Structure 1
């Protein structure tokens, strides 16, 4: 068995090609699509713990949704640059106007469109950017999806620019043990490692889920590191570590800071 290749299955990747659609993700996806179809344009907030898969989910909807999406991965922007980028996305020349005039221009360009502006890591938004988003949201020219860490979201949501306006909060949860089983089995089955998948699920799934707490990023790291360790053991004739076992999983957990040595 090529354990290096199996490790690569669990590398952190944000492309939709490697995105696992568990029931939690499908629920959020369907909810957003329902809101987009049945509500007036407003602010949507996507929250969740670090590592739960918010960025990967945003990449998925960017590639898979039948809506026009403009996505900003890191919101370290000045308001005037943010507005100029939105204008340029319409293939329109940016006039040398004041910020106030540029806002009027961008609202005019998008007023009758159905664009979604997506901002990842929205907990990093400056006060000035929050105010610009408020102005553009009030214009009803855009939908906005703002993704942010759960523990920092309340501060943003309590900002007067957002708290008093129509908005919806969607929380992406950690996955259940059943979804962890499904994810591991699917990834390994795709690599013709069904027997190994069954063995891991039978003997170690409770430990994996307990260590990761259902956090997708941590779960991936545990499996990625475990398979790298097995690959090393096989290439260096370390008999005790040539197969997936509790010792390998414990070392992977220590290496990733999940447990202390």
Structure 2
């Protein structure tokens, strides 16, 4: 089945999470412009939130790619739970090399950072983007808050939900946050734009055109407007097409996608019960 075209289509939805996966949707364009605008202002903390799978990480990687030539920007896609690991990784992200001495604390990091940058005129604050920030321990978030007060850094926290019980919503954070930016779930129209781009960019637009409007509604309902769930569902749809194309091609020989296969893929994706 290695030569099966559905193997190629399936894999379009397998290797996700790269900056190249970013597609201009209405919600992502608005969030992108807001974040870039805030990063140009003298802000200390920005909170960017939305449900898992709504496309936050895609957008963050796009921002990092677009801004990396304009100054220091560091992106941590996974959380840290240890202060020494965090400041050591931050050093490596800024200076692109390992520190000459072990860095065990925030205070030591700041001392080393100032010593290395005191002769740099008009140095802009380093932008640090922390994905999955809801997982950071409170004591480390407190050190990050102190770092933001130094004026040497500005932090963008990407989190799943910005709710009252979240540490980022507490008073000593809220007084420093310039703005909260929300990334909403994808609606049917945006989902269609996303899929159309995915297929067209890989020369499979004719496959996209085989989906009916009612099937797009089904896809959006099953995935709940979640791009991560949608990619998993699409992968399983075309894995089933891969099987039928090799073993029972008449089942998928029509001019439209087979709704029954979409439902089978949803069961395999654990989006509905068998």
Q: Is the 8 A contact 1:44 1:145 kept in 2?
A: yes
Aligned residue for 1:25? 28
**1:214 to 2:225 alignment:** yes
After the TM superposition, which of the residue ranges 178-187 and 159-168 deviates more from structure 2?
Answer: 159-168
1:1-261 matched pairs, under 5 angstroms: 2-37=5-40, 39-65=41-67, 66-88=70-92, 89-90=94-95, 93-94=100-101, 99-106=106-113, 112-150=123-161, 154-237=165-248, 239-241=250-252, 244-261=257-274
Q: Is the 8 A contact 1:107 1:136 kept in 2?
A: no
Q: Is the 8 A contact 1:48 1:148 kept in 2?
A: yes
How far apart, CA to CA, are the structure 2 residues paired with 1:60 and 1:98? 31
Q: Is the 8 A contact 2:162 2:168 kept in 1?
A: no
CA separation of 1:96 and 1:252: change in aligned 2, threshold 3 A: closer
CA separation of 1:100 and 1:203: change in aligned 2, threshold 3 A: closer
Q: Is the 8 A contact 1:231 1:242 kept in 2?
A: no
How far apart, CA to CA, are the structure 2 residues paired with 1:119 and 1:68? 14
What is the number of equivalent residue pairs in this alignment? 260
Shift of 1:67: 4.2
Shift of 1:120: 1.2
Query: Residues 118-162 of structure 1, C-alpha deviation per residue, up to 9 Å, x if partnerless?
Result: 111111111221111111111111111111112768512233441
Query: Residues 93-115 of structure 1, C-alpha deviation per residue, up to 9 Å, x if partnerless?
Result: 44778653433443565683232
After the TM superposition, which of the residue ranges 25-34 and 85-94 deviates more from structure 2?
Answer: 85-94
How far apart, CA to CA, are the structure 2 residues paired with 1:106 and 1:44? 23
How far apart, CA to CA, are the structure 2 residues paired with 1:225 and 1:236? 17
How far apart, CA to CA, are the structure 1 residues paired with 2:64 and 2:104? 31
The runs of 5 or more residues in structure 1 that have no matched partner are none
How far apart, CA to CA, are the structure 2 residues paired with 1:73 and 1:231? 33
CA separation of 1:67 and 1:152: change in aligned 2, threshold 3 A: farther
Q: Is the 8 A contact 1:41 1:141 kept in 2?
A: no
How far apart, CA to CA, are the structure 1 residues paired with 2:15 and 2:163? 23
Q: Secondary structure at the match of 1:150?
A: coil
TM-score w.r.t. the length of structure 1 is 0.88
Q: Is the 8 A contact 2:46 2:177 kept in 1?
A: no
Q: Secondary structure at the match of 1:40?
A: coil
Query: Residues 229-248 of structure 1, C-alpha deviation per residue, up to 9 Å, x if partnerless?
Result: 01101112263355621101
CA separation of 1:242 and 1:218: change in aligned 2, threshold 3 A: farther
CA separation of 1:198 and 1:97: change in aligned 2, threshold 3 A: closer
Q: Is the 8 A contact 2:74 2:127 kept in 1?
A: yes
